Structures are given as C-alpha cells and as structure tokens.
C-alpha cells in the first residue's frame, strides 16, 4: 500500500559551501509519496521529492498524511481532447455513473488510498 507524508521541514541536511548551491526539493505543507525502504536506509524515509527522484530524509521532516473524513474541499479541472472525452462519457454511461464518479473510482483503484474514516 502506498504511504504519503506531509512535509514539516525542508532545511538542507548538510552545512558547507556545497549546501549553498541547493534549493530545497521539499515544500513545507506539500504531500509526498514514500517508497519502500531499502536495506541500508538507516531509519530515514525514502521520499520522492520535487526532483522526481527518491531521496532519504529524516523522519522528523514529515508527518503522516491520512484522510480526515471530511468533504472534498478542492477540485481539479482536466482538459481532454474530444476523443478521450467521448470515451470517458461512453464508459460512464456503460457503468451507469457520472464521469466524475467514474474518475474518482479509477483514482481510488489506481492509488490504493486509505479508506476515509
């Protein structure tokens, strides 16, 4: 199952002349995916950061990100070409669902999200 964490700290892990050249790849408050630990991770979290790569970060840089059970408070706008829009509409009709419900179902299946409380 996928795990997600919210960033609490984005300080550079080392302090030398080399560190001054790095902008943090973590944004405080943003949610990141945690990948499975590897043999020598030493108790640190392996997180896919803003660079798109997985790197090790101290666990105290993050808090678990879990569903709050509340209503949706954000929306996403997706622009589709006419072909894909038609296919989604046909799939929704066949499933006897709205396009929105079908997409939410596909997202839930694909991301293996935790169940809301």
> What's the predicted TM-score (pTM) here?
0.61
Question: Tokens 């950061």 label which residue?
Answer: 49
pLDDT at 100 over 80: yes
User: Can you give the pLDDT at residue 63?
Assistant: 92
Q: What angle do the packed helices 82-95 and 99-111 form, to 10 degrees? A: 90
Structure tokens at 105: 């179902």
Q: Tell me the pLDDT tens digit for each residue of 55-92.
A: 888 888 899 887 766 666 677 788 889 998 898 888 88
């Amino acid at each position: 199952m996928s795990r997600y964490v919210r960033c609490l700290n984005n300080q550079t892990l080392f302090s030398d002349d080399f560190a001054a050249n790095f902008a943090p790849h973590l944004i405080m408050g943003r949610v990141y995916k945690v990948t499975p630990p590897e043999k020598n991770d030493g108790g640190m979290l392996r997180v896919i950061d803003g660079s798109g790569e997985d790197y090790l970060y101290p666990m105290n840089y993050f808090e678990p990100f879990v569903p709050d059970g509340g209503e949706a408070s954000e929306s996403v706008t997706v622009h589709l070409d006419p072909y894909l829009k038609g296919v989604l509409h046909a799939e929704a009709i066949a499933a006897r669902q709205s396009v929105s419900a079908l997409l939410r179902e596909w997202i839930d299946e694909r991301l293996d999200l935790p169940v809301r409380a």
